[in-house]
Chains A and B, each alone.
Chain A
């Protein structure tokens, strides 16, 4: 079986990015909904590794809150990230299929 480029957690965090850009906070909320609660540092460390691997691209967006500007980190998936995500998806799907096949036999 080929080794995937992504861990399950990385796959989980990349999958909503396939639909479009998201802010860090939204991604963390998504992970929390999926039962994987990460603190801010752990989450941003994870995203940093994904950025280093060129799977995502991150940038800051300025947001004005009552005259104060805060910079919000936003992310979008890159082409290699999308490919890795798809490969991981196929791998998980085939594994599930095999398992179902075995159970059915």
Chain B
């Protein structure tokens, strides 16, 4: 999830505390010292949703819609969250809650009324908050992208870059299917291995080009072409 805007207006800090969510038996934590207003962006089923929210620093957040509220008990991230909807409560596994919140306020998130239908469907299908809430690509082993700078410019631009983009596409597509922590760790590990293999393959490719240049540069063009054909260097 990305936090879109934070209202730094000091007047917002002195508003009355957010009201408890509707139809909730859980009480709001007390003792907060300040509150903030902000706008959060979610992607539910691929649709961006902007939700004005009011929250406090100790883990309470109230959505712009009084009928929709989310609360995650205790310091965050910790345990399952609850989503209050007009029809009742829905438990939210920690993974979802962690994905859905801003890094500084883990566990807190809210949805606008327009999102409820989408969210219910997503909860039923266990496909909630896919992507968009947080980019999948930071998980992609960046060190192996940086390793590309060991390659020469042409290899990096013409060979490594398109290959790595394909790998990223694979990664993003595959990551959608697996949600548990260990599955995703395994995915990261697997793609790290694949990226290493790709890097070495590109490196070998670069070496072949250099060797070919050194070996064949002294030959006239037709002979060079013939040797390349024989050795399948094209």
The residue that B158 contacts in the complex, of A39, A42, A51, A63, with Cβ under 8 A, is A51
0 or 1 for each of A32-76: is its CB under 8 Å from B? (1 = yes)? 000000011110111111010000000010010111101111000
| Cβ–Cβ contact A24 & B162, under 8 A | yes
- The answer to whether A44 and B136 touch (CB under 8 A), given A7-B234, A72-B169, is no
| Cβ–Cβ contact B162 & A73, under 8 A | yes
Q: Distance (Å) between the CB of B4 and the closest chain A CB?
A: 13
Say yes or no for A9: interface residue by CB 8 A criterion: yes
| Cβ–Cβ contact B205 & A42, under 8 A | yes
Among the 9-residue stretches B14-22, B29-37, B127-135, the one with 4 or more Cβ atoms under 8 Å from chain A is B127-135
- The answer to whether A65 and B165 touch (CB under 8 A), given A9-B234, A41-B205, is no
CA of A16 to CA of B233, assembled, Å: 22
Q: Distance (Å) between the CB of A49 and the closest chain B CB?
A: 7
- The answer to whether A41 and B163 touch (CB under 8 A), given A10-B234, A63-B169, A70-B169, is yes
CA of A49 to CA of B209, assembled, Å: 11
| Cβ–Cβ contact A24 & B166, under 8 A | yes
| Cβ–Cβ contact B229 & A7, under 8 A | yes
- The answer to whether A40 and B132 touch (CB under 8 A), given A7-B229, A66-B172, is no
B residues engaging A (CB < 8 A)? 43, 46, 130-133, 135-137, 154, 158-160, 162-163, 165-169, 172-173, 176, 198, 201-202, 204-205, 209, 222, 225, 229, 234
A residues engaging B (CB < 8 A)? 3, 7, 9-10, 24-25, 39-42, 44-49, 51, 60, 63, 65-68, 70-73
